[in-house]
Amino acid sequence: MKVILNSEQIERILKDLAGRIIADTPNELDIVAIGIRSRGEILAQRLSGQLSQQLGKKVPCGTLDITLYRDDLNSPQGTAQPKVRTTEIGFDIDDKIIILVDDVLYTGRSTRAAMDALIDLGRPKAIKLAVLVDRVGREFPIQADYAGYKSDAEPGKLVQVNLVESDGKDEVIIE
């Protein structure tokens, strides 16, 4: 196990991501943050707080469950019943700049599922992807607009994001 990000680095990355998002987005456009369950939702809440603080106005935050949009839902190798949880987006996404937040971008499959789910909910002006960790190994032509840390973790290795809210501490490790 190797720690690649500690709590201070994660905090610094989220602050930096917020600054980059603000710099790239015209003032007249509305930004919202939507996190992919489960750690993406926590990161989205933190990022929304950073954006709100830096912009001086509230940036709405929501949570997206992608279970029913996954392409491995009916996989013959899967034996467990998928656990469907709620999508909690208490605002209109039409004509908004959506900052889609996830913890790790690896194959691109979760991001593809999330985009499908978002399009079923409305017609955003744009969807921008922000991830804490961007690792090599893409299977779909999907890239992060905002990535905090680039990892070259080998295939077969696990990049695990631990957050205080769900795991008791902030760190990113490679196992």
Domain count, the chain: 1
- Residues 27-46 have pLDDT tens digits of 889 999 999 998 999 999 99
End-to-end CA distance of the chain: 5
CATH code of 58's domain: 3.40.50.2020
- Residues 47-91 have pLDDT tens digits of 999 999 999 999 999 999 999 888 776 555 555 666 778 899 999
CA distance 32 to 46: 12
CA distance 33 to 54: 14
Range of the structural domain that residue 129 is part of: 2-69+87-174
pLDDT, the chain, mean: 93
pLDDT at 148: 97
Does 76 reside within a domain? no
Does 75 reside within a domain? no
State how far Cα 21 lies from the chain centre. Answer: 14
pLDDT at 71: 75
